[in-house]
């Protein structure tokens, strides 16, 4: 027989024969229905779990007997005490004045909790000194301890919040007053500038009129002189004072000709007057010029001020106003916990969130253990050997066996969901198709894991041991018994490697929150990766070798 | 010339450091009942498991009806039938359901399954029990059902791994008769047993395995002669005699004497004239001889002589 290469050989061992797959499924179905004793715990165990958890979760202890020791009579202390009285969690049986007295009550079992309000509570809070309320709990009942702490925590939190709100409201008022003062001041400033600008402008126009008066006066003076008067020539030659002045100086030279004549004397007097008058015109002109410059600058300044006022005063003012208008409560508690239902309006309970995890958990147990019987058990009693002796490929045996258990677990999951719907009135919010999709994926992974284990072990006892190793973490990290968030980091990271974490997330998302496909795509993708790995593993480790 | 239906070539199987089957070579002819003998742990079942494709050989190969063991395992499984050592059927299923399931795994159609299972159930005297859950069957019934399951596909070769172990004599005889009947119909049968008498009765040829090796191979007659250097004569005396061994050994044709109670086993070099000489010897001694006869060695003697031990793990 010639040697062929390893890749090509024995292709028939890899072909899935669908007829045989259906024969295997039917065979397993008959075996399963015949083995009623095995069927019973598979259904009763999860029902028991659902019942126990359904009736216990969400029912934290109420009316825990408590005593209050208060060393403070402030309104604040009274307020907190009132809230404790009003709380459903505590039933205040005693108000005592010393801690020792309260402890005796605790020791005698008459109360389970002591709540101690320290002296000067109100005063400290008013002075911004942190204050603490003490809680002493009978630790023998952990649920009481947890609930008391939680309930008191909520009360204190409420009180702390209202104190903060009150203080904040005080700040708001001061800020508001400051804002209006600032606004007024800015307004006044603006007005002042306006007045200055107006006055400057007025000054300019006043000086203008002074100038024109001077000119008019000068004209009149000119008209009163004879037309040949050198003064007139000089005056007519220019409107400019400097040239005028020079011409006037030239005019003085006939001084020599008309000296001592009465006319000359008169002219001299006129010249002197005119000179003085010209000088006053020049000064007036200079002042007008300066007044105009000042007025222009004042206008510009006013425009800049107008622009800056918007950005530097008005906007901050609006911000301050918005702050004072918004409720202090929203600022103090931008996030809050509501007791009301978060999803839908139906008022979901803890059990609604628990059922998906519970189903995921029981399915895993059932699928893994079922495989123990299907492979390890059939190995033991030799019936698997008998199947191996027929011309049936490994892949056909794997497919047939897996498919049957996938169908069976799917039925079981549906049964449990229906049971939960009937008994606990669980409402399925999301798409049934998505639920089925998640279940099929997850069940296939679970059964495949069972098959991998049962393929690598030699006996059913070994199977039990290894299956326990995987199903116990799955059970405890499923979140059914303990919240995962309450576990140490290492446990939480182990949970990241368990398919149940993703299956329960996706299931919860669809069942409780009615999430659409794209919102659960992350867990679904992780589950798909699990599936590919598991199928690859099972095809590799599932061998005929009966050693 | 008869064809060899199975050719085993240097087949070896190791489990870790332990060599269960050590480089065996063997040919099995078409149409024979071939016996695998050997003490527990000799490697018989391992060899059968390799030939039936349940486990892979460490090295070497074999062809079964011209199909290569490692390359055409599915083809091999479709022409062989195997009666495993233990029951190995689904005890939750009825006799009929078991046969139907096995039939479906051979891709037989419903009609074929019905006629074949009916025929086999009748042949195995299980027809009236066909609707009963097989888990409650007696050992003999289970083994007959197992045989029926192995015959569903009408195989060319039937492997029977210690099929009669733990059965009552009636069931044992029934299985043996069925085996011979099947052989007469042309089926090659590979029969594993450590019941020497059974092997001697039904097997055409026998191999004896020990510690993973084939230590003898041939017909029962051939095997017996392999260990015998002479002939054995059994003498039964009327009363327990005194020590005679040394005197008997003085006779020229005697090679060995074994003495127990009234029986004396004497190994002789030749047959001729031995009866007369021995009668004369005892007559002279005045010892009354009740019976004197030739005795053939049993296969068990061959077996023990070859494998040298009585007790195995």
Let me know whether A356 and A447 are in one domain: yes
Residue B1's pLDDT is what?
A: 53
State the Cα–Cα distance between residues A162 and A220, nearest whole angstrom. Answer: 87
Q: For B265-274, how does the pLDDT look when each residue is reduced to its tens digit (9 = 90+)? A: 888 877 778 8
**B24 or A316, which is more confident:** B24
Mean pLDDT estimate for chain A: 76
Would the CB atoms of A390 and B63 count as touching at under 8 Å?
no
Instruction: Say if residue A224 is in the same domain as residue A306.
Output: yes
Report how far residue A474's alpha carbon sits from residue A498's, in angstroms, rounded to the nearest whole number: 7
Instruction: Give the β-pairing of B254-260 and B263-268.
Output: antiparallel
Distance CA A164, CA A157 (A): 10
Q: How confident is the model at residue A349 (pLDDT cuts 50, 70, 90)?
A: low
Q: Kindly state whether residues A231 and A89 are assigned to the same domain.
A: no
Contact partners, residue A246, CB within 8 Å, separation at least 6 = none
Query: CA gyration radius for chain B?
Result: 24
Confidence of residue A3 (pLDDT cuts 50, 70, 90): very low
Residue A117 lies in a domain: yes
A457 pLDDT above the threshold of 50:
yes
B70 touches chain A (CB under 8 A): yes
Between these two residues, A287 and A118, which has the higher pLDDT value?
A118
Q: Which residue has the higher pLDDT, A46 or B146?
A: B146
A404 neighbourhood in chain B, CB within 8 Å: none
The answer to whether residue A57 sits within a structural domain is no
* Residue B92 with chain A: CB contacts under 8 Å: 30-31, 34-35
The mean pLDDT of B216-224, rounded to a whole number, is: 83
CB contact under 8 A, B149 and A386: yes
Q: What are phi and psi of B302, to 5 degrees?
A: -60, -50
Please answer yes or no on whether A390 and B106 come within 8 Å at the CB atom.
yes
Residue A484 lies in a domain: yes
Is some CB atom of chain B closer than 8 A to the CB atom of A19?
yes
**Highest mean pLDDT, choosing among A120-124, A167-171, B182-186, B243-247:** B182-186
Mean pLDDT over residues B177-200, rounded?
88
Is B116 an 8 Å CB contact of chain A?
Answer: no
Is B65 an interface residue toward A (CB < 8 Å)? no
Whether the CB of B294 is below 8 Å from some CB of chain A: the reply is no
Q: How far is A533 from chain B (nearest CA, A)?
A: 26
pLDDT digits (tens, 9 = 90+) for A237-279: 445 555 555 555 555 554 444 445 666 666 666 667 666 666 7
A381/B92 Cβ within 8 A:
no
Compute φ and ψ for A8, nearest 5 degrees: -80, -25
pLDDT value at position A139?
66
| Band (B126; pLDDT cuts 50, 70, 90) | very high
CA of B294 vs chain A CAs: smallest distance (Å): 47
Q: CB-based contact (8 Å) between B112 and chain A?
A: no
A234 lies in some domain: yes
Confidence of residue B94 (pLDDT cuts 50, 70, 90): very high
Same domain, A444 and A491: yes
Q: Are residues A316 and A331 in the same domain?
A: no
- The whole-number pLDDT of residue A114 equals 86
Q: Which residues of B touch A19 (CB under 8 A)?
A: 104, 107
Q: Is A228 found in the same domain as A103?
A: no
What is the reported pLDDT for A177? 81
Supply the pLDDT for residue A382: 82
Which residues between 241 and 270 in chain B have a beta carbon less than 8 angstroms from any beta carbon of chain A?
none
The CATH number of the domain where A84 resides is what?
3.40.1710.10
Give the domain-ending residue among A306, A340, A374: A340
How many domains would you assign to chain A?
3
Summarize pLDDT for A83-104 with one digit per residue, the tens: 888 877 788 888 888 888 888 8
Q: Chain A within 8 Å of B58 (Cβ-Cβ)?
A: no
Q: What is the pLDDT of residue B274?
A: 83
**Residue A6 lies inside a defined structural domain of this protein:** no
* A174 plus A309 within the same structural domain: no
Please tell me the distance in Å from A389's CA to the nearest CA on chain B.
Answer: 6
Higher pLDDT, A500 or A282: A500
Instruction: Give the per-residue pLDDT at A546.
Output: 53
In this prediction, residue A403 carries a pLDDT of 92
What mean pLDDT is predicted for residues A181-187? 78
Contacts of A23 in chain B (CB under 8 A): 101, 104-105
Is the CA virtual torsion B36, B199, A387, B182 positive or negative? Answer: positive
Domain span including residue A391 = 350-541
Q: Indicate the burial class of A197 (C-beta count within 10 angstroms; 0-12, 13-18, 19 or more).
A: buried
Closest residue in B to A6 (Cα) is B71
Confidence band of A524 (pLDDT split at 50, 70, 90): very high
Considering the domain architecture, whether residues A388 and A525 belong to the same structural domain is answered as yes
Residue in A7, A22, A390 to test binding to B, most B beta-carbons within 10 Å: A390
pTM over 0.90: no
Report the pLDDT value the prediction gives residue A471, as an integer from 0 to 100.
84
Chain A, residues 28-47, CB within 8 A of chain B, namely 30-31, 34-35
Q: What three-state secondary structure class fits A539?
A: helix
| pLDDT-derived band at A307, boundaries 50, 70, 90 | confident
pLDDT over 70 at B119, yes or no: yes
| Domain finish residue from A340, A373, A392 | A340
From the CA of A40, how many Å to the nearest CA of chain B? 16
Q: Are residue A417 and residue A448 in the same domain, yes or no?
A: yes
pLDDT value for A56: 65
3-state secondary structure A404-464: HHHHHHHHHHHHHHHHHHHHHCCCCCCCHHHHHHHHHHHHHHHHHHHHHHHHHCCCHHHHH
- A229 and A365 both lie in a single domain: no
Question: Where would I find the H helices in A489-520?
Answer: 489-495, 499-511
Percent of chain A with pLDDT over 90: 9
Task: Please report whether residue A51 resides in a domain.
Answer: no
Helix (H, G, I), strand (E, B) or coil at A480: coil
Q: In this predicted structure, which of A211-225, A251-265, A328-342, B95-109 has the lowest mean pLDDT?
A: A328-342
Q: Do A17 and B107 touch (CB under 8 A)?
A: yes
Q: How confident is the model at residue A2 (pLDDT cuts 50, 70, 90)?
A: very low
Which residue in chain A has the smallest CA separation from B70?
A: A10
- pLDDT of A338 > 60? The answer is no
Average pLDDT, rounded, for chain B: 86
- DSSP string of chain B? -PPEEEEEEEEEEEETTEEEEEEEEEEEETT-EEEEE--TTSSHHHHHHHHTTSS--SEEEEEETTEETTT-HHHHHHHEEEE-SS--S-TTSBHHHHHHHHHHHTT--HHHHHHHHHHHHHHTT-GGGTTSBGGGS-HHHHHHHHHHHHHTT--SEEEEESTTTT--HHHHHHHHHHHHHHHHTT-EEEEEES-HHHHHHH-SEEEEEETTEEEEEE-HHHHHHHH-SSEEEEEEESS-----HHHHHTSTTEEEEEEETTEEEEEES--TTHHHHHHHHHHHHTPPEEEEEEEPPPHHHHHHHHH--S---
Average pLDDT over residues A371-382: 80
pLDDT at A250: 55
**Residue B131: per-residue pLDDT:** 93
Give the residue, B204 or A309, on which the prediction is more confident: B204
Nearest to B88 among A30, A31, A386 (CB): A386
Q: What is the pLDDT of residue A277?
A: 65
Distance from CA of A394 to the nearest CA of B (A): 10
Q: Residue A245 has what pLDDT?
A: 55
In a domain, A132, yes or no: yes
Residue B293 confidence (pLDDT) above 80: yes
- What distance in Å separates residue B184's CA from the closest CA in chain A? 24
Q: Please report whether residue A14 resides in a domain.
A: no
Does residue A389 share a domain with residue A298? no
Q: Which residues of A touch B71 (CB under 8 A)?
A: 1, 4, 9-10
Using the predicted structure, report yes or no on whether residue A236 has a pLDDT greater than 70.
no
Do residues A92 and A158 share a domain?
yes
């Amino acid at each position: 027989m010639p040697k062929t290469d390893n890749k090509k050989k024995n292709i028939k061992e890899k072909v899935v024969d669908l007829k045989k797959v259906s024969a295997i499924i039917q065979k397993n179905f008959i075996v399963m229905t015949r083995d009623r004793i095995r069927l019973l715990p598979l259904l009763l165990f999860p029902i028991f779990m659902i019942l126990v958890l359904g009736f216990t979760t969400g029912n934290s202890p109420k009316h825990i007997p408590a005593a209050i020791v208060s060393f403070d009579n402030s309104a604040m202390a009274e307020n907190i005490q009132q809230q404790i009285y009003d709380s459903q969690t505590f039933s205040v049986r005693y108000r005592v004045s010393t801690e020792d007295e309260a402890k005796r009550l605790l020791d005698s079992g008459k109360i389970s909790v002591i709540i101690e309000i320290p002296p000067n509570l109100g005063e400290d809070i008013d002075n911004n000194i942190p204050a603490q309320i003490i809680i002493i709990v009978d630790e023998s009942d952990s649920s009481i301890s947890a609930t008391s702490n939680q309930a008191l925590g909520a009360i204190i939190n409420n009180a702390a919040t209202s104190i903060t709100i009150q203080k904040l409201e005080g700040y708001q008022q001061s800020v508001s007053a400051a804002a209006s003062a600032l606004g007024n001041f800015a307004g006044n400033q603006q007005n002042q500038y306006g007045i200055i600008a107006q006055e400057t402008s007025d000054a300019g126009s006043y000086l203008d009129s002074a100038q024109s008066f001077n000119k008019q006066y000068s004209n009149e003076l000119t008209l009163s002189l004879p037309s040949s008067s050198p003064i007139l020539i000089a005056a007519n030659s220019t409107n400019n004072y400097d040239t005028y002045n020079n011409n006037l100086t030239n005019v003085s030279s006939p001084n020599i000709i008309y000296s001592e004549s009465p006319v000359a004397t008169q002219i001299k007097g006129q010249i002197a007057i005119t000179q003085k008058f010209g000088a006053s015109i020049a000064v007036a002109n200079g002042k007008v010029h300066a007044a105009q410059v000042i007025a222009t600058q004042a206008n510009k300044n006013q425009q800049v001020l107008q622009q800056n006022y918007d950005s530097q005063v008005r906007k901050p003012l609006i911000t301050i106003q918005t702050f004072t208008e918004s409720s202090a409560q929203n600022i103090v508690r931008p996030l809050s916990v509501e007791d009301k239902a978060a999803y839908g309006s139906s008022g979901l309970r803890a059990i609604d969130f628990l059922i998906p995890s519970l189903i995921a958990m029981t399915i895993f147990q059932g699928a893994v253990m079922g495989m123990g019987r299907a492979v390890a058990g059939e190995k033991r009693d030799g019936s698997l050997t008998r199947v191996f002796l027929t011309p049936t490929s490994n892949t056909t045996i794997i497919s047939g066996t897996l498919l049957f258990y996938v169908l069976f677990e799917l039925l079981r999951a549906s049964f449990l969901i229906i049971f939960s719907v009937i008994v606990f009135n669980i409402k399925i919010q999301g798409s049934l198709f998505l639920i089925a999709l998640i279940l099929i994926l997850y069940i296939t992974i679970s059964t495949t894991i069972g098959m991998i284990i049962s393929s690598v072990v030699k006996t059913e006892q070994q199977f039990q041991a290894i299956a326990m190793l995987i199903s116990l973490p799955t059970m405890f990290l499923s979140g059914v018994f303990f919240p995962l968030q309450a576990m140490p980091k290492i446990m939480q990271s182990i949970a990241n490697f368990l398919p149940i974490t993703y299956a329960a997330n996706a299931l919860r998302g669809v069942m409780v929150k009615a999430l659409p496909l794209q919102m659960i795509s992350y867990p679904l993708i992780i589950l798909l990766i699990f599936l590919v790995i598991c199928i690859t593993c099972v095809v590799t480790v599932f061998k005929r070798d009966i050693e | 010339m008869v064809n060899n239906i199975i050719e085993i070539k240097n087949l070896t199987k190791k489990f870790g450091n332990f060599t269960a089957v050590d480089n065996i070579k063997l040919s099995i002819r078409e149409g024979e009942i071939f016996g695998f003998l050997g003490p527990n742990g000799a490697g018989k079942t391992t060899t059968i498991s390799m030939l039936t494709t349940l486990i892979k050989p460490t090295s070497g190969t074999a062809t079964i009806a011209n199909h290569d063991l490692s390359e055409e395992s599915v083809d091999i499984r479709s022409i062989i039938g195997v009666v495993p050592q233990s029951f190995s059927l689904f005890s939750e299923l009825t006799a009929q359901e078991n046969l139907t399931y096995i039939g479906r795994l051979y891709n037989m159609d419903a009609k074929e399954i019905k006629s074949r299972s009916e025929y086999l159930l009748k042949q195995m005297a299980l027809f009236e029990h066909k609707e009963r859950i097989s888990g409650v069957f007696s050992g003999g019934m289970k083994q007959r059902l197992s045989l029926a399951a192995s015959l569903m596909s009408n195989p060319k070769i039937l492997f029977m791994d210690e099929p009669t172990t733990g059965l009552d004599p009636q069931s044992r005889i029934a299985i043996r008769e069925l085996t011979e009947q099947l052989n007469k119909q042309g089926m090659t049968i590979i029969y594993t047993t450590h019941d020497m008498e059974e092997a001697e009765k039904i097997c055409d040829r026998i191999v004896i395995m020990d510690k993973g090796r084939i230590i003898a191979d041939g017909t029962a007659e051939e095997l017996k002669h392999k260990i015998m250097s002479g002939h054995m004569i059994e003498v039964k005396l009327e009363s327990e005699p005194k020590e005679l061994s040394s005197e008997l050994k003085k006779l020229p044709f005697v090679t060995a004497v074994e003495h127990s109670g009234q029986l004396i086993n004497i190994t002789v070099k030749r047959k001729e004239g031995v009866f007369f000489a021995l009668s004369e010897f005892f007559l002279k001694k005045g010892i009354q001889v009740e019976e004197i006869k030739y005795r053939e060695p049993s296969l068990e003697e061959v077996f023990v002589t070859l494998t040298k031990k009585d007790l195995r793990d």
